[in-house]
Amino acid sequence: MQTAPTSSSTERSEEAAPSRAADVGRIVTSSFRPAWWLPGPHLQTLWPSLIRPRPQPALRRERLELPDGDFLDLDWTPGTSGPLVLVLHGLEGSVHSHYAAGIMRALHARGLRAVLMHFRGCSGEPNRLARSYHSGETGDVNHVATELRRRHPDIPLAGVGYSLGGNVLLKWLGETGGDNPLAQAVAVSVPLRLDRAADRLEQGASRLYQAYLLRSLRRSVGRKFRSRELSAPLALHELRRLRTFRAFDNAVTAPLHGFRDAHDYYARSSSRPFLGDIQVPTLILQAEDDPFLTRDALPDEQELAPAVTLELSPRGGHVGFVTGRWPWRPRYWLEERIVEQLHPLMRTGLSAAT
């Protein structure tokens, strides 16, 4: 199971970039238009998280045992056949996150099956091992995708990742290149450079998101190491002093997953250096006003493989993208755009396979 890579992905990418200069991906402008009643990145980010109802089709949970003795929980939409979409949630997310509930419902409505992979410890029960999940851990998604392909060798398989899950998805696509089992991928609101995301979340109103997520992370770490006979990376009473992502990643993420420190973790786990090696058709949906990321973290076209399209919107926030004429009739553009992207190829692939 992969933890930290053995060489610097940033250096590898910078060395390879000149040879790709004449054959690169695209950066295009999104058609998204924000709702007039949700101006600014923070309202776009908070509305779906705080206000949106989260009904879902009846889901089936499966526990997948891992070779290292740990487990992953998968949640499946109804159905036993048809194209399949693997969904990866964001930091401290789950199947109950607003974006996960929305895309699972939207995919099911259009005749596509969806399976959400909970990262270790995110399904409501602490995982068994001291290690957990992080933004660059691609071993688990590779294991799940390989298992899905083994079970269903003749159906189209796509991937959708949000935020941290989007970073994991893109990094994995770049690592595996032409050996990746997906037919198509979509990544949303990705922290393409983790160091710049950490910088942004220490500024202005974005500190509120940092505080909220860190409370959840500290609670998760404390609950696991109190309930299982495991050696914690620090005294648990010291968790309360970890008030920034850099502090948390230095004290918890790095030592648990084989990194020297937060700087090493960010450099080796960011997905941006891997974008030039992706061979699966991939769409990245990103807002320039994302309060989780600085504008300079976005790549140039020269960094994108020909299979990659970066679709930029001036507005949209972080996993927001809410439109609609009136507040009582909002439209959640993200899942409309994702289904629009996936549905034709997935249905075509199914027809070809059958």
CA-to-CA distance for 270 and 215, rounded, in angstroms? 23
Count the helix, strand and coil residues of the chain and give each as a percent rounded to the nearest 5: 45, 15, 40
Q: Is 318 a catalytic residue?
A: yes
Say if residue 10 is exposed, middle or buried (CB neighbours under 10 Å; 0-12, 13-18, 19+): middle
Q: Is 9 a catalytic residue?
A: no
Q: Per residue in 186-200, is it b (16+ CB within 10 Å) or e — as a string?
A: bbbbbbbbbbbbbbb
Among 322, 239, 314, 329, which Cα is nearest to 49's?
Answer: 322
Q: Which of 75, 132, 290, 313 is catalytic?
A: 290
Q: Which of 163, 206, 269, 270 is catalytic?
A: 163
Alpha-carbon distances, residue 65 vs 31, 150, 353 (angstroms): 42, 15, 30
The bridge status of strand 331-332 relative to strand 282-287 is unpaired
Compute the radius of gyration of the chain from its Cα atoms.
19
Q: Is 108 a catalytic residue?
A: no
What is the helix (H) or strand (E) element at residue 335, kind and residue range? helix 333-353
Q: Please give the biggest Cα pair distance in the chain.
A: 58
Residues recognised as catalytic: 163, 290, 318
